[in-house]
Chain A
Amino acid sequence: EPVTEGSKLEKLFAHPLYNIQTPGLTPEERLLEAKQLMEYYKRKASRWERHMKLYSEAAAASNITVSKHKVTFDSDANWLKFHLGINRYALYSRDDPAIGKLLRDMQNMTVIGADYTQDEKALKGACDCTQVVKPSGHHLKLALKMQNYAKAMFKPMRQQRDEETPEDVFYFVDFQRHNAEVAAFHLDRILDFCRVPPVAGRLVNVTGEVLHVTYNDDLRAVFFVSPANNTCFFAKCLYVCKTEYAVCGSPHLLEGSMAAYLPSLSIAPRISIPNPWIRSYTFTRKEEWEVNPFFCDNVKQLYPYNSGNRLLNIIDMSIFDFLTSNMDRHHYEIFTKFGDEGFLLHLDNARGFGKHSKDEMSILAPLSQCCMIKRSTLLRLQLLARPEYRLSDVMRESLQRDLLQPILTEPHLLALDRRLQKVMRVVQRCVRRLGEDKVVTKDFARYTAK
């Protein structure tokens, strides 16, 4: 194709490789039924109304300022469409207009409620400061509820865009970056994986949109005004253990990422499975895969990696993590409904994009040790390595649509190209060793049509 002016991103998405029709979906292949979801939504809404009544009385009695917002029950809400669209092949389809609208909703819809996330609540306030690896509930994130009951996970900005992770920091003590969450969603979409829930950047007014709409006393208690007169709040355990200071608005506005919630576990249960290429999460110990080059031969024998697509999905995930340089993929999740053939959810990407000057080759271990890759993935990677669809260019363009742009600094974008080359080189080495037939695998779910 000739290089022409105009949007590289649009051209990419117009490419035949990105326009393979998925086979028609049977009800079995959809995650949710519309009726079931609506019933769940109605129950939630009426419970919220009931609680609101009680809360407002209690708040009035104890003289706490709580702003009231009108809540609308909208059976046409974009987040409902997103949930209904989830199928056994992907979280969403790239051309679904509801996704774009959902991103916009998360950027500007009124926030009516704020609370801690479930995994933080599950800790029940227990703080063990001696833990070297903090459980995910320790990190600062909030669940925000929007006017139409859509929920999003808010992760505040902790680091400037141009700051890199210091060289002495281990992967498990690194900061969580809001821009990495946003960028990971865009990259996932450009790779046509569609396994990351939609994420948008947003400027949140921490006073008006968090402090004044929360009914959680514990959350209210962590707010304070800093010496520079900014509204700040902190993650209780990390603050008590003095590992992290608070995050502060300036004076109220704070950047952060808003990640759309997946359907509730009660209607769409998921399981979390340890990654076979998990790291040791200690200062010294090494895992077996780090010392045994034939580790993959063992994995291939084990259920569920001994059949079907699962191992190939893990390799997709490792390529995705290598591009973002996320070393913290200890678990992955799948929807139980789709069983072993379902896709892997790429949740929690906030530890990516920490260093643009270093490529952590160990993340690619699944690919380099197993020496297999989906044909569809490889074809897209090859496409993105070509100048007219260059990965950094399409990422830059895609990220420009976000409110908080620039999401990634230039060095990070250019690192993507460099890392892509390294992935291709690993594949080439495998092909040279084992032959293309053994390495490049036809994946038999989504792209069988091709």
Chain B
Amino acid sequence: MIKMILFRKFRVLILMVFLVACTMHIMIDLLPKLEKRGAGADGVDGGCQCAHHPGAQSQGWGKQRARSAADAGWPNKHTLRILQDFSNEPSSNLTSHSLEKITAAADGAESRRRSGPSAGRTGDHKPLIRDTSGGRTAPVRGASRLSALFQHPFYKLDLPPLTEEDTLFNVNTDIRFYPRATGNQGWHDEEGNEEEDFSPTGEVTAESYPNWLRFHIGINRYELYSRHDPVLDALLKDLVTQRVTSVAMKSGGTQLKLIMTFQNYGQALFKPMKQTREQETPPDFFYFSDFERHNAEIAAFHLDRILDFRRVPPVAGRLVNMTREIRDVTRDKKLWRTFFISPANNVCFYGECSYYCSTEHALCGKPDQIEGSLAAFLPDLNLAKRKTWRNPWRRSYHKRKKAEWEVDPDYCDEVKQTPPYDRGTRLLDVMDMTIFDFLMGNMDRHHYETFEKFGNYTFIIHLDNGRGFGKHSHDELSILVPLSQCCRVRKSTYLRLQLLAKEEYQLSSLMEESLLRDRLSPVLIKPHLQAMDRRLRLVLRVLAGCVEKESYVNVVEEDLVGDTATHRSPGH
């Protein structure tokens, strides 16, 4: 009998706690911007489970969220990106970031965490990473080509003035409700930080946000981050130093990737090292069976910055302890099960994915340290939807078939008449991307993404660069086909490319210097660096050929005169 009563009481308690949790969810959900995708279903089981520790409710709940995010099979929303694998069976290949669907709900007053803000504030935007080499602090030496480059007038062109329509988030109205970070709603984080930082009226200063959130806030219509944003270095540092609190396997992708969640609730995509720096892609490999390389991800970010595109999310290299930072913090059984000790007594794992996830391709540490790239997550898809576009110059992803552009020399004329390539800057953005991919030798650009909020008048996000830098001895000219078929380029891009071909701004030395800041330096071996100089000359030759054939004004799009906004603005 007593048992019965106790049991009933307990049930009532569970029910109460459940109701409280649900009410809280609903409250959050009703807040603007977040209403569309609340914590609804997920929240329910979160609430139920944390009922067992009513006292620790909020933190239990926070943890719960993290787990349900990690465990739940993600709904395959972006099945647009179907990549035929090398046995020609379709398998969905979601973009590296399209799955970060940790639901938006609040998660703990993270903004009040000292580590995050302090890392971002004050003079901390020193080159994280290697203390020895002169990174950005180097300009004192006066020999830094990189700082000279960024001093060049071509790297000082201003953006058009930003209106509210041009930023991804409105700091005043949106960010307050950003999950996990701003820490209102009275959620306490585990460490129970002091309350002063927090003010429910939204006076949480932007500087107190964790760096990943400040990065998200900074995204606008024209760029992922601004040229000299101190947040960027702080974010890169976070990627390397923040404690990993949980790890999940990214489902849906072709090759093994892990989602790492940090102590400040930031998240990043981890790609482990699969090949040594010296290894080249075997000549008989198709572009779609190539390995993804962690160093290519890192190098792509640096290259993109040197080209002043700023369309690649920040990536840093990190030595990860496989035992402490992966195996012991994952709740993913499937991942956990694949850990083993090799005959040479190293820790190995192989995970679960459709490409190269087998014992034959196990990733082994030395004895438990493994290199990898960590790419900062873009804002949650619930807060900033993205559109996925099929690249018009997509390859066939088939061993025998050819794509249309490979057989039709006038293919670009067709593309130019198809929206969204018939107006705005989209075609020019594709040209920029083509040049970027050619310099890296990345043949795997089947899709690209944009932020939905900005419509068709915005930049292209350069995600998924792991298949670049596979062969230094080969220049894959077919990547340049969009450029040679369309013969269009932005003037700003053209000028910068010419600049980077000059002796004093040589692309390879700039890249070398920039990559020195990464902890995994050297990220690229010399031959890859030199290949970029060679490829840059090839790009310039193609452009010179275009100019000769179709005259300068028809090839080079003027984007530097006065108010550049004219052809960029949405009002077009």
A138 vs chain B, min Cβ distance (A) = 11
B359 vs chain A, min Cβ distance (A) = 5
Task: Map CB proximity to B onto A128-160 as digits: 1 under 8 Å, 0 otherwise.
Answer: 010010000000000000000000000000000
| B87 A226 Cβ-Cβ under 8 A | no
Task: List chain B residues, Cβ under 8 A from A110.
Answer: none
- Tell whether A243 pairs with B361 under 8 Å between CB atoms, given A167-B343, A167-B344, A226-B284: yes
| A227 B286 Cβ-Cβ under 8 A | yes
Q: Which of B289, B357, B360 makes the CB contact (< 8 A) with A173?
A: B360
B399 interfacial by beta-carbon distance below 8 Å: yes
- Interface-lining segment among B177-185, B238-246, B348-356: B348-356
A246 interfacial by beta-carbon distance below 8 Å: yes
Task: List chain A residues, Cβ under 8 A from B282.
Answer: 245
A351 vs chain B, min Cβ distance (A) = 13
- Interface-lining segment among A10-18, A37-45, A84-92, A234-242: A234-242
Interface members, chain A 188-234 (any B CB < 8 Å): 224-228, 230, 232
- Tell whether A168 pairs with B358 under 8 Å between CB atoms, given A227-B286, A245-B284: no
B147 interfacial by beta-carbon distance below 8 Å: no
Task: List chain A residues, Cβ under 8 A from B359.
Answer: 132, 170, 173, 243
- Tell whether A227 pairs with B283 under 8 Å between CB atoms, given A168-B362, A168-B364, A243-B360: yes
Task: List chain B residues, Cβ under 8 A from A26.
Answer: none
Most chain A beta-carbon neighbours within 10 Å: one of B282, B355, B360: B360
Q: Which residue of B lies closest to A284 (CB)?
A: B340
A132 to B86, CA, bound (A): 21
Task: List chain A residues, Cβ under 8 A from B284.
Answer: 226-228, 230, 232, 245-246, 248
Most chain B beta-carbon neighbours within 10 Å: one of A132, A226, A243, A283: A283
B170 vs chain A, min Cβ distance (A) = 45
A2 vs chain B, min Cβ distance (A) = 45
Q: Which of A169, A228, A242 makes the CB contact (< 8 A) with B356?
A: A242
Q: Which of B343, B348, B358, B399 makes the CB contact (< 8 A) with A129?
A: B358
Q: Which of A168, A226, A283 makes the CB contact (< 8 A) with B344?
A: A168
Q: Which residue of B lies closest to A228 (CB)?
A: B283
A417 interfacial by beta-carbon distance below 8 Å: no
Q: Which residue of B lies closest to A222 (CB)?
A: B87
- Tell whether A167 pairs with B289 under 8 Å between CB atoms, given A132-B359, A227-B284: no
A244 interfacial by beta-carbon distance below 8 Å: yes
A240 to B342, CA, bound (A): 25
| B358 A283 Cβ-Cβ under 8 A | no
- Tell whether A242 pairs with B355 under 8 Å between CB atoms, given A170-B342, A228-B283: yes
Task: List chain A residues, Cβ under 8 A from B399.
Answer: 224-225
Tally chain B residues at the interface, Cβ within 8 Å: 30
Task: Map CB proximity to A onto B280-295 as digits: 1 under 8 Å, 0 otherwise.
Answer: 0011111101000000
| B343 A239 Cβ-Cβ under 8 A | no
| B342 A167 Cβ-Cβ under 8 A | yes
B525 interfacial by beta-carbon distance below 8 Å: no
| A168 B348 Cβ-Cβ under 8 A | yes
A132 to B342, CA, bound (A): 14
A449 vs chain B, min Cβ distance (A) = 44
B382 interfacial by beta-carbon distance below 8 Å: no
Task: List chain A residues, Cβ under 8 A from B341.
Answer: 283-284
Tally chain A residues at the interface, Cβ within 8 Å: 26
| A243 B358 Cβ-Cβ under 8 A | yes
A232 to B89, CA, bound (A): 19
| B343 A168 Cβ-Cβ under 8 A | yes
B100 vs chain A, min Cβ distance (A) = 25
Interface members, chain B 356-374 (any A CB < 8 Å): 356-362, 364
Interface members, chain A 269-318 (any B CB < 8 Å): 283-284
Task: List chain A residues, Cβ under 8 A from B357.
Answer: 242
A362 to B177, CA, bound (A): 63
Q: Which residue of A lies closest to B366 (CB)?
A: A168
Q: Which residue of B lies closest to A240 (CB)?
A: B87
Task: Map CB proximity to B onto A239-272 as digits: 1 under 8 Å, 0 otherwise.
Answer: 1111111101000000000000000000000000
Q: Which residue of A lies closest to B87 (CB)?
A: A240
A205 vs chain B, min Cβ distance (A) = 17
A168 to B37, CA, bound (A): 46
Inter-chain contact count A-B, CB under 8 Å?
A: 70
Task: List chain A residues, Cβ under 8 A from B89.
Answer: 240
A281 vs chain B, min Cβ distance (A) = 11
Interface members, chain B 60-101 (any A CB < 8 Å): 85-87, 89
A245 to B283, CA, bound (A): 12
A134 vs chain B, min Cβ distance (A) = 9
Task: Map CB proximity to A onto B166-189 as digits: 1 under 8 Å, 0 otherwise.
Answer: 000000000000000000000000
Interface members, chain B 482-537 (any A CB < 8 Å): none
Most chain A beta-carbon neighbours within 10 Å: one of B283, B346, B361: B283
A319 to B344, CA, bound (A): 24
B400 interfacial by beta-carbon distance below 8 Å: yes
A65 to B33, CA, bound (A): 64
A246 to B364, CA, bound (A): 24
B552 vs chain A, min Cβ distance (A) = 36
| B343 A245 Cβ-Cβ under 8 A | no
A257 to B391, CA, bound (A): 45
Task: List chain B residues, Cβ under 8 A from A173.
Answer: 359-360
| A224 B400 Cβ-Cβ under 8 A | yes
Q: Which residue of B lies closest to A174 (CB)?
A: B360
A166 vs chain B, min Cβ distance (A) = 8
- Tell whether A226 pairs with B286 under 8 Å between CB atoms, given A168-B364, A170-B359, A241-B358: yes
B187 vs chain A, min Cβ distance (A) = 41
Task: List chain B residues, Cβ under 8 A from A239.
Answer: 86-87
Task: List chain B residues, Cβ under 8 A from A284.
Answer: 340-341
Task: List chain B residues, Cβ under 8 A from A240.
Answer: 87, 89
Task: Map CB proximity to B onto A91-132 as digits: 1 under 8 Å, 0 otherwise.
Answer: 000000000000000000000000000000000000001001
A246 to B399, CA, bound (A): 12
A394 vs chain B, min Cβ distance (A) = 31
Task: List chain A residues, Cβ under 8 A from B283.
Answer: 226-228, 230
Task: List chain B residues, Cβ under 8 A from A246.
Answer: 284
A246 to B357, CA, bound (A): 17
A88 to B359, CA, bound (A): 41
Task: List chain B residues, Cβ under 8 A from A168.
Answer: 342-344, 346, 348, 362, 364
A214 to B359, CA, bound (A): 32
A227 to B474, CA, bound (A): 12
Task: List chain A residues, Cβ under 8 A from B285.
Answer: 226-227, 245
A280 vs chain B, min Cβ distance (A) = 13
A224 vs chain B, min Cβ distance (A) = 5
Interface members, chain B 14-31 (any A CB < 8 Å): none
| A283 B340 Cβ-Cβ under 8 A | yes
A424 vs chain B, min Cβ distance (A) = 26
Q: Which residue of A lies closest to B342 (CB)?
A: A168
Interface members, chain B 368-419 (any A CB < 8 Å): 399-400
- Tell whether A242 pairs with B354 under 8 Å between CB atoms, given A168-B348, A224-B400, A283-B341: yes
Task: List chain B residues, Cβ under 8 A from A245.
Answer: 282, 284-285, 289
A245 to B362, CA, bound (A): 15
Most chain B beta-carbon neighbours within 10 Å: one of A168, A225, A230: A168
A224 to B356, CA, bound (A): 20
A262 vs chain B, min Cβ distance (A) = 29
Q: Which residue of B lies closest to A227 (CB)?
A: B286
| A169 B342 Cβ-Cβ under 8 A | yes
Interface members, chain A 359-407 (any B CB < 8 Å): none
Task: List chain B residues, Cβ under 8 A from A224.
Answer: 399-400
A-B contact pairs, 5 of them (CB 8 A): A168-B346, A226-B284, A241-B358, A243-B359, A243-B361
Beyond contacts A167-B342, A227-B285: 17 other A-B pairs, Cβ-Cβ < 8 A, are A167-B343, A168-B344, A168-B362, A170-B343, A171-B343, A173-B359, A225-B400, A230-B284, A232-B284, A242-B289, A242-B355, A243-B359, A245-B285, A245-B289, A248-B284, A283-B341, A284-B341
Chain A positions near chain B (C-beta within 8 angstroms): 129, 132, 167-171, 173, 224-228, 230, 232, 239-246, 248, 283-284
Q: Which 5 A-B pairs have the closest CB atoms?
A: A168-B342, A226-B284, A167-B344, A228-B283, A283-B340
